[in-house]
A and B are shown apart, each in its own frame.
Chain A
Amino acid sequence: MSSIPSNLKYLDSHEWARVESDGTVTIGISDHAQGALGDLVFVEVPEVGRALTKGGAAAVVESVKAASDVYSPLSGEVIANNSNALSATPELVNSDPYGQGWLFKVKPSNSSELGSLLDAKAYEKVVEEAGH
């Protein structure tokens, strides 16, 4: 069973979002997603300053087998990305998807979008259904 921390918000396409104390939001892919993708070998994150829209393709994660788009859970400007760590060690997304394997941070332009994200319980249902 994959881990689904209760303090995070999720998209049904398997991204997570964590609201930090300064109001910025850190984004990554879920434990379930990294497990389904397998060993990651390449991660492409959005450049700082890029404007993202909710649900738009923001990053790409590639395992040995395939490439997958990562969608932004929120609209906003990219204020940081984890390319320093992930360009050398993309496997951090496998080993620590909610920690060192984070992908990028945004400054949300519309904080009401947060309300439309799934909580851990709802996301757990998505994962269960994907398993059947």
Chain B
Amino acid sequence: MGFKTPLYETHVAAGARMVDFGGWDMPVHYGSQIEEHHAVRRDAGMFDVSHMLIADVSGARARDYLRYLLANDVAKLKDPGKALYSCMLNERGGVVDDLITYFGDAEHFRVVVNAGTRDKDTAWLKRWAESFKVDIQPRTDLAMVAVQGPNARAKAAKVIGTSAAAVLGMKPFFSKQLDRHFVATTGYTGEDGWEIILPATEIAAFWAALRDAGVQQCGLGARDTLRLEAGMNLYGNDMDENLTPLESGITWTVAFDPPERDFIGRAALEAQRKAGVPRKLVGLVLEDRGVLRSHQKVVVPGVGEGEMTSGTFSPTLERSIGFARVPAATGEQVQVDIRGKLLAARVVKYPFVRNGKALI
């Protein structure tokens, strides 16, 4: 038996197919993964993301602490509520986890980390907390729902009530604490929408009200196809402790400036950058018929070999897309070994889909 979110009974009662995800019993779909995917692209869908860990970081040196712990620089956060996507790295530059940091003020931040890594992350956060005298408070009293899609704000606002007026026009990658709801314009789908945190005891009623307001309940299956179309990495698939952000398509999340800021892993990244990054993460579209999957071998004629890190059938594009880690010299054409056949795939810039529109 795995861990259960406060919505576990709700999912089972709704007929969800439950699977193990990083030690948690989570819904993979409630009937049709493809319909759930389309609901998010075209209307509004919601995901139980209470398995992720919310932790509050506070202390006089909280900002300094996060500037040392994260590869991106929280000094960029000037406006209250602003959010930042970053990796935290080990000393070798490998990715311990990726996370979102919400800025309260210089002494108060909130971080949200992945479910499968929550114990490791908690230990890592606490390991460095002592010397900065910051307090790490895991908020297991809270739960989180992501409401995503072009109509997500309008539908969720009706459920939240009058206090939602303060966040209806909030810009992307911001957050605001309302009376009861902490609302953030972040997500993992490439659509507009909110991630909403509220007391765990209130989440089931909130979920039911969203469903009554016409928000489609969606499982982790649709979450995976949506994030892949949106060109977002999945921790454990597309990056891990033995790979740096530079090899994982997320160099943009590393703040090398200002040069005097030291952060864990900086020396390793600079050495790698100087020596030349040997591999890169690319987006692929399969030109032949079939489905790209993680761990398939990628052949780059005249260059070498690589491996698929994520792959799926894209419901929006109606063809197979994926990410592959390939030699740095890889050009535009590769082949993917699918059950012994070498099929043609094209390297493309991603995201593949954004705000409901195909970009490839």
CB distance from A41 to the nearest CB of B (A): 4
Which residues on B sit within 8 Å (CB–CB) of A41? 34, 291, 313
Q: Closest CB of chain A to B255's CB: distance in Å? A: 36
Q: Does B117 contact A (CB under 8 A)?
A: no
Q: A41-B313, A60-B339 are known contacts. Are A65 and B33 too (CB-CB below 8 A)? A: yes
| CB within 8 Å for A42 and B291 given contacts A62-B313, A64-B315 | yes
Residues of B close to A64: CB separation below 8 A: 33-34, 37, 221, 225, 312-313, 315
Nearest residue in B to A41 (C-beta to C-beta)? B313
Q: Of B221, B289, B290, which one neighbours A65 at CB under 8 angstroms?
A: B221
Would you call B293 an interface residue if the criterion is a C-beta within 8 Å of the partner chain's C-beta atoms?
A: yes
Q: Are A42 and B221 in contact (CB under 8 A)?
A: no
CB-CB nearest in chain A for B220: A65
* CB atoms of A42 and B289 under 8 A apart: yes
Contacts of B333 in A (CB 8 A): none
Interface flags for B6-47 (1: CB within 8 Å of A; 0: not) read: 000000000001000000000011001110010000000000
Q: How far is the CB of A65 from chain B (nearest CB, A)?
A: 6
| Cα of A38 to Cα of B291 in the assembled complex, Å | 15
C-beta contact mask, B307-340 vs A, less than 8 Å → 1, else 0?
Answer: 0000011010000100000000000000000010
Interface string of B290-303 (1 = CB under 8 A from A): 11010000000000
Answer whether residue A87 sits at the interface, using C-beta atoms and an 8 A cutoff: yes
Contact with B along A66-106 (1 / 0, CB 8 A): 11000000000000000000010000000000000000000
Q: How far is the CA of A64 from the CA of B293 in the complex (A)?
A: 10
Contact of B315 with A67 in the complex, beta carbons under 8 Å: no
B357: min CB distance to chain A, Å: 21
Which of chain B's residues have a CB closer than 8 A to the CB of A63?
A: 33
Residues of B within 8 A of A124 (CB): none
Interface contact B289-A38, CB-CB below 8 Å: no
Q: Judge if A39 is at the interface, Cβ distance under 8 Å.
A: yes
What is the minimal beta-carbon distance from B314 to any residue of chain A, in angstroms?
A: 9
Task: Determine the distance from Cα of A66 to Cα of B17 in the docked complex, in whole angstroms.
Answer: 15
Kindly state the separation between the CA atoms of A44 and B291 in the bound complex, as whole angstroms. Answer: 11
Q: Write out, one digit per residue, whether chain A residues 7-42 have a CB within 8 A of any chain B CB (1) or not (0).
A: 000000000000000000000000000000011011
- Shortest distance between the CB of B101 and any CB in chain A (Å): 31
Smallest Cβ-Cβ distance to B225: which chain A residue: A64
Measured between beta carbons, the chain A residues less than 8 angstroms from B312 are 64-65
Contact across chains for B293 and A67 when beta carbons are under 8 A apart: yes
Interface centre among A65, A67, A87 (most CB of B within 10 A): A65
Complexed CA–CA distance, A49 and B221 (Å): 37
| Contact call A42/B33, Cβ cutoff below 8 A | no
CB distance from B344 to the nearest CB of A (A): 16
Q: Judge whether B290 and A38 touch: CB under 8 Å.
A: no
Residues of B within 8 A of A42 (CB): 289-291, 313, 320
Partner of B221, one of A38, A60, A62, A67: A38
Shortest distance between the CB of A89 and any CB in chain B (Å): 12
Per CB-CB distance, the 6 closest pairs between chain A and chain B, nearest first, are A41-B313, A39-B34, A62-B291, A42-B291, A64-B33, A64-B313
Q: A38-B221, A67-B291 are in contact. List 10 more A-B contacts (CB 8 A).
A: A38-B17, A38-B32, A38-B33, A39-B33, A41-B291, A42-B313, A62-B290, A63-B33, A64-B34, A65-B221
Pull 29 A–B residue pairs with CB atoms less than 8 Å apart, ordered by A. Answer: A38-B17, A38-B29, A38-B32, A38-B33, A39-B32, A41-B34, A41-B291, A41-B313, A42-B289, A42-B290, A42-B291, A42-B313, A42-B320, A60-B339, A62-B290, A62-B291, A62-B313, A64-B33, A64-B34, A64-B37, A64-B221, A64-B225, A64-B313, A64-B315, A65-B28, A65-B33, A65-B221, A66-B293, A67-B293
